[in-house]
Amino acid sequence: MNKDILGFAMRLLARREYSVAELQNRLVARSGSVAEVNEVIAELQRQGSVSDQRYAECYLRSRIDRGDGPVKLQAALRQKGVPESVIRHSMAESTGEDWRDRLESLRNKRFGKQPPVDPAEWARQARFLQGRGYTVEQIHRVIPPPWGH
């Protein structure tokens, strides 16, 4: 096993959590040897130094606190190379989060407690909330459209 790659990986992991795919990309970019990197990654996984599950939990915890919704969180984890099964499991664990309360809090912080009075204002608020990763269904439950549905 290449000690230089292992040492670099340990220095990276000392600063923050990485998904297996992120770490692999960083190590391959530095060393160029996919086989040696895979060997190092396998050893780090055996030691418990790198874990997609732990990474996903840390990532979700920090991003939920920023106001990100479930759609955005799942997409970000996919982009970071976290396996779909780990994403599903981590999201199921975090559904202890009351997305409705988080969404309502985010909306009230940004737009105040008054509901939108016209369709244009409702659409503006809905676009903002969708951009933060909430579904249209979740948005409808928190801010019913002024024209009814």
Tell me the pTM. 0.84
Measured distance CA(77)–CA(80) in Å, rounded: 5
pLDDT tens digits, residue range 9-40? 999 999 999 999 999 999 999 888 899 999 99
Site of tokens 């990485």: 18
At 32, list the tokens. Answer: 């160029």
Contacts of 41 (CB under 8 A, 6+ apart): 9, 20, 23, 24, 27, 50
pLDDT in the model for residue 97: 61
pLDDT in the model for residue 95: 64
CB 9 within 8 A of CB 40: yes
Tell me the average pLDDT of the chain.
91
99-142 has which fold?
A: Arc Repressor Mutant, subunit A (1.10.10)
The DSSP annotation for 124-148 comes to HHHHHHHHTT--HHHHHHHS--TT-
pLDDT in the model for residue 147: 76
pLDDT in the model for residue 148: 61
Measured distance CA(75)–CA(60) in Å, rounded: 12
The DSSP annotation for 53-81 comes to HHHHHHHHHHHHHTT--HHHHHHHHHHTT
pLDDT tens digits, residue range 77-135? 999 999 999 999 999 887 656 888 999 999 999 999 998 989 999 999 999 999 999 99
